[in-house]
């Protein structure tokens, strides 16, 4: 069933409202999460001389902005939650944009890499092709997109106060290919566990 504009506005407002309410608890609860495997997966595929210009799409409170900066890169954050964007600016010192994921305004051919860690699953399936093409357009030629999402069986809906769409590998590959990306690699997380204990699907893509 197609979501109407009012439905999309409600999804955005309710999901962002939840993050706004729990922002500090979220920052404390995710501060020590180790996503170095994901950051390495993005950076090792970017071509050309460093430092790289990286968009942390859905940067949250800014944990990974700090990591990219420590590694010597130029990181810009983007999030829809007002409290997250302020936390990210304060904690990282980076430029951070507050934008609704469904109403993006991104510069063209600007970024060497986009780091979309645990964020794209919040975008309703019907809007995802458009958003992916916007991310594609904001990458330089040959630029790299990293994504990590909770995997699922191509269902979407409410998980408490947050909306999510949960894709399997084949569906995700089809979406990214349609948007103009070429797959570089994919893997499941956390590493070293049986597949049924790996809820996250991570993938890396190059702008064709």
Secondary structure of residue 106 in the 3-state scheme: coil
pLDDT at residue 14, as a whole number: 98
Per-chain mean pLDDT for the chain: 97
pLDDT at residue 104, as a whole number: 98
Please state at what angle helix 36-43 crosses helix 63-70, rounded to 10 degrees. Answer: 50
Q: 180 falls in which pLDDT band (50, 70, 90)?
A: very high
- Mean pLDDT computed over 164-174: 98
Judge whether residue 79 has pLDDT over 80.
yes
Give whole-number Cα distances, 201 to 59, 173, 182, in Å. 18, 11, 16
pLDDT at residue 142, as a whole number: 98
pLDDT at residue 166, as a whole number: 98
> Contact, 188 vs 198, CB < 8 A?
yes
In the chain, % of residues over pLDDT 90:
98
Q: 73 falls in which pLDDT band (50, 70, 90)?
A: very high
- Mean pLDDT computed over 86-90: 98
Q: 130 falls in which pLDDT band (50, 70, 90)?
A: very high
- Residue-wise pLDDT tens digits, 99-120: 999 999 999 999 999 999 999 9
| DSSP strands (E only) in the chain | 53-57, 74-79, 95-98, 111-117, 139-150, 155-159, 162-166, 181-189, 200-207
- Mean pLDDT computed over 63-81: 98
Q: 60 falls in which pLDDT band (50, 70, 90)?
A: very high
Q: Strands 139-150, 200-207: parallel, antiparallel or unpaired by DSSP?
A: antiparallel
Residue 38: partners with Cβ closer than 8 Å, 6 or more residues away: 115, 117, 146, 148, 189, 202
CATH topology of domain 5-207: Rossmann fold (3.40.50)
**Domain chopping of the chain, boundaries:** 5-207
pTM of the full structure = 0.97
Judge whether residue 172 has pLDDT over 80.
yes
Residues in the chain: 208
User: Positive or negative CA dihedral for 97, 86, 102, 188?
Assistant: positive
pLDDT at residue 1, as a whole number: 77
Token digits for 168?
Answer: 């399997």
Give the C-alpha separation, 173 to 205, whole Å. Answer: 10
How many other CB atoms are found less than 10 A from the CB of residue 208?
11
Among all chains, which residue has been given the structure tokens 């990591």? 67
């Amino acid at each position: 069933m197609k979501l109407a504009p009012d439905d999309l506005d409600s999804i955005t407002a309710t999901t962002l409202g939840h993050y706004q309410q729990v922002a500090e608890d979220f920052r404390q609860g995710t501060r020590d999460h180790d996503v170095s495997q994901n950051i390495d997966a993005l950076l090792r595929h970017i071509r050309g001389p460093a430092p790289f210009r990286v968009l942390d799409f859905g940067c949250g409170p800014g944990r990974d902005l700090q990591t990219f900066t420590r590694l010597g890169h130029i990181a810009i954050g983007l999030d829809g939650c007002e409290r997250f964007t302020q936390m990210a600016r304060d904690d990282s010192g980076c430029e951070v944009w507050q934008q609704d994921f469904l109403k993006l305004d991104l510069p063209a051919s600007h970024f060497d890499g986009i780091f979309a860690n645990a964020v794209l699953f919040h975008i309703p399936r019907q809007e995802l092709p458009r958003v992916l093409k916007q991310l594609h357009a904001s990458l330089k030629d040959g630029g790299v997109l990293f994504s990590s999402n909770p995997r699922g069986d191509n269902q979407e809906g409410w998980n408490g106060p947050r909306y999510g769409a949960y894709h399997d590998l084949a569906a995700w590959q089809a979406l990214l290919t349609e948007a103009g990306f070429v797959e570089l690699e994919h893997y499941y997380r956390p590493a070293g566990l049986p597949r049924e204990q790996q809820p996250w699907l991570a993938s890396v893509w190059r702008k064709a």
